[in-house]
Amino acid sequence: MARDERGLSESVQWALLWPLLMLLTLGIIQAGIFLHGRNVAQRAATAAVDAARGSYGSAAEAEQLGATIAGSGGLRNISVRVQRTGTTVRADVSAYAPMIFDLDLGRIDETAAAPLERVTQP
């Protein structure tokens, strides 16, 4: 009776394909987490600018708001810097997205800027 080796060849194929499929799946998940982190950092920067550009806004309150939003979105090592000049407001948010395999690739830097709201004579 001849041995059927088809089962053995399928086992070898799955043994080679399974790790590749797992890496592909984890890579897709990681890319989604990173893109979510970028969106959160951009929203934190935009909210900080919106808070600082008003007549009664301050850079300190805007930095706190940006850090709160970034933290609630799951970012780590958050740094929010708001610069308020005579005509513009700029917010820089730096943070790290959570990574499955932390290869120091999760750093996110986002910036938002807007004109300062001013009361002018018509």
Q: Which helix (H) or strand (E) holds 72?
A: helix 59-72
d(Cα 109, Cα 15) in Å, to the nearest integer? 40
Whether residue 96 contacts residue 75, with contact meaning beta carbons closer than 8 Å, is answered with yes
Q: Distance between terminal CA atoms of the chain?
A: 100
Q: Which helix (H) or strand (E) holds 33?
A: helix 6-52
The alpha carbon of residue 46 and the mean position of all alpha carbons in its chain are separated, in whole angstroms, by: 14
Tell me the domain boundaries of the chain.
Answer: 6-115
**Per-residue tens of pLDDT for the chain, all 122 residues:** 455 555 566 777 778 888 899 999 998 999 999 999 999 999 999 999 999 998 888 899 999 999 999 999 999 999 999 999 888 999 999 999 988 877 777 899 999 999 988 777 77
